[in-house]
Amino acid sequence: MLSRFRIPAQETPWAWAGTIAPDWRVIPVSLDILVVQHTDAVPVGLLGRYLELQGAWLHTWNAARCTSPLQGDYDGLLVLGGPMQSWDDDAFPHLQTVMEVIRQFHHQGKPILGICLGAQLIARAFGAAVYPNATPELGFVPIYPIATTSPEPWIQDFPAGMLLLEWHSDTFDLPPNADWLLTSDRCKHQAFRLGTSTYGLQFHPEATPEIVRGWWDFLSEAVKAQFPQLLDQVQQQFDAHWAKADQFTEALAQSWCTQVALASRQSPPCSLPILC
């Protein structure tokens, strides 16, 4: 059984320069998050840092290596991105298992956050089509909110045209009954909510410059030829836009952890057996 208690702030070693450690005494119960990672090149990154600052324990399941999830009681599910196409079950059979886990968490009312491939898998898990986008989105792209009757806390102050990092060639239709939250000029569906607490984001709030440099090798030769200066351009974009993107990631982590904490008080955690 996973521990449900945090150690005091003064005993916690913080490795991030300039970060003020939170006072865990006001967060008596930890939040256990199952993180689905498809490849070492796409880790939880910056988003993981802010989730941990909110009191989350992150339990990483490398789904491509271990085809079934780890034993544990989980309060939320975070599904990361990856270079594979979300419909390529023959080459990546673990994708079917990930979608089963997504449906299990959703049906139990546990918050889910999917990023890029993770968002596509959520859409696919609930019957929506996933397919190649008309053109790749690579680098920082203006994102626009969609007017809704119930705005999300993490996009209430979202400025139209905010620049966030994209790195994808595929897109998806919205699942039935999903609420459309964000869009861009080149990719219609940038964020959605299904039910009360299942979210899909096409962009990458977790990415850092170091992480993105590792993604170059996953691009096709045709895309590399089309964007030969991409890495230099993206580094310049990080220099110009990362401060605001970082603030957005922090707000997203705070809002999502609030939902996870609320759900953890309303119902038991999602229990997964050892199947690996």
Task: From 208, 245, 243, select the one nearest 48 (Cα to Cα).
Answer: 208
Tell me the whole-structure pTM to 2 decimals.
0.87
| Block mean pLDDT (10 aa), the chain, length 276 | 34 33 45 95 97 95 84 94 93 93 95 98 98 95 83 86 96 96 96 96 97 92 92 96 96 96 89 59
User: For 28-54, what is the HEC assignment?
Assistant: CCCEEEEEEECCCCCCCHHHHHHHHHC
CB-neighbour burial class of residue 107 (10 A; exposed 0-12, middle 13-18, buried 19+): exposed
The shares of helix, strand and coil residues in the chain, as percent rounded to the nearest 5, are 35, 25, 40
CB-neighbour burial class of residue 79 (10 A; exposed 0-12, middle 13-18, buried 19+): buried
Looking only at the bridges linking them, the beta strands covering 31-37 and 76-79 are: parallel
- Count of Cβ atoms closer than 10 Å to residue 235 Cβ: 14
Any alpha helices (H) in the chain, and if so which ranges? 45-53, 94-107, 117-125, 209-213, 221-226, 230-266
Altogether, the residues listed in the chain come to a count of 276
Residue 186 in tokens: 């080149």
**Confidence at residue 150, expressed as pLDDT on a 0 to 100 scale:** 63
The answer to whether 163 and 140 have CB atoms below 8 angstroms apart is yes
Phi and psi at residue 190, to the nearest 5°: -100, -25
**Confidence at residue 51, expressed as pLDDT on a 0 to 100 scale:** 97
The answer to whether 154 and 207 have CB atoms below 8 angstroms apart is no
Q: Who contacts 101 (Cβ-Cβ below 8 Å, separation ≥6)?
A: 34, 36, 69, 77, 272
**Confidence at residue 96, expressed as pLDDT on a 0 to 100 scale:** 94
The answer to whether 78 and 44 have CB atoms below 8 angstroms apart is yes
**Confidence at residue 66, expressed as pLDDT on a 0 to 100 scale:** 85
**Confidence at residue 28, expressed as pLDDT on a 0 to 100 scale:** 36
